[in-house]
Amino acid sequence: MGEPVPRLGLRPLWSDPDSLARRQLAAYENSGRTDLADALRPLAQAPTATWFTGDAPRERARALTTAAAAAGALPVLVAYDVPGRDCGSFSAGGAADEDAYLAWVGELAAGIGDRPAVVVLEPDAVAAAVTGCRDLDARARLALLRRAVGVLTALPATHVYLDAGHPGWVRDLPALAGALRAAGVDRAAGFALNVSNVQPTDATVAYGRRLSRLLGGARFVVDTSRNGAGAPVATGRVEDWCNPPGRRIGRVPSTLTGVDVVDAWLWVKRPGESDGSCRPGEPAAGEWFEEYALALVGV
């Protein structure tokens, strides 16, 4: 007997042909810098998620999912526009209020339509509601996410994973499980772990298993984009999570995980794109960071 069909199906994950990493790879190739091109190629050609923030998302989501469907591939989208996003830190922003957010989610859903897609919903939003951040009404945040889950799961071929932070953040798993239930994880495909973080895969899976048991066997996906060297020693400083030095790319994205409760290894964070202007001279969040990208592949 062969391997069972993955929960997300047999389609390969979508690799954006116009990503910033692909553009950098092309620039190296065109300039004859074959050593750097060869080093960067595994990062540049891997499937990565596409992040959707404040701009009107409908047409962009339609173009992405249409291109992926035509290629027989499964795109991963990140919905990242919740009010009070990132607790006002380097990726601060988000919709102006709840009504604006739900309208935005509706536009994203309209763009996806009936085409297959994975949506990782609101990195950090649930974990921040558990640990607290300034001016955040946790109950209202979780209720809003539940409504967003309802909009997206009404689509016929969309798999929604609620972000749940990472093992280095929320230690109180019963509290996290309760927050995920309030946010609608029971209606979703499951939850996501380690988004934009660097916790080791084995530790993250163990953490996810414990959380899954508290949620009645919920399944999950793991961001492996930058965890190939594991997590740095925690210092409590911004270096722990914002363009953390000494990291490497991790497991290649795949829906064939070999782990019973893990639906996929994903590169949710696009490696090589900055977490933010964490230190002088570093690019803003989402911009290409050439030096950091090369460090992730050992250059």
CA nearest to 108, candidates 123, 96, 119: 119
CA nearest to 60, candidates 91, 13, 104, 8: 104
Q: Please, are residues 187 and 149 in contact by the beta-carbon 8 Å criterion?
A: yes
Cα–Cα separations (whole angstroms), residue 33 to 28, 30, 37, 47, 293: 5, 8, 6, 23, 15
Task: Kindly list the catalytic residues.
Answer: 86
d(CA 292, CA 299): 9
Q: Please, are residues 191 and 185 in contact by the beta-carbon 8 Å criterion?
A: yes
Extract the runs of DSSP E, i.e. beta strands, from 150-266.
158-163, 190-193, 219-223, 262-266
Reading the block at residue 173, the tokens are 């798993």
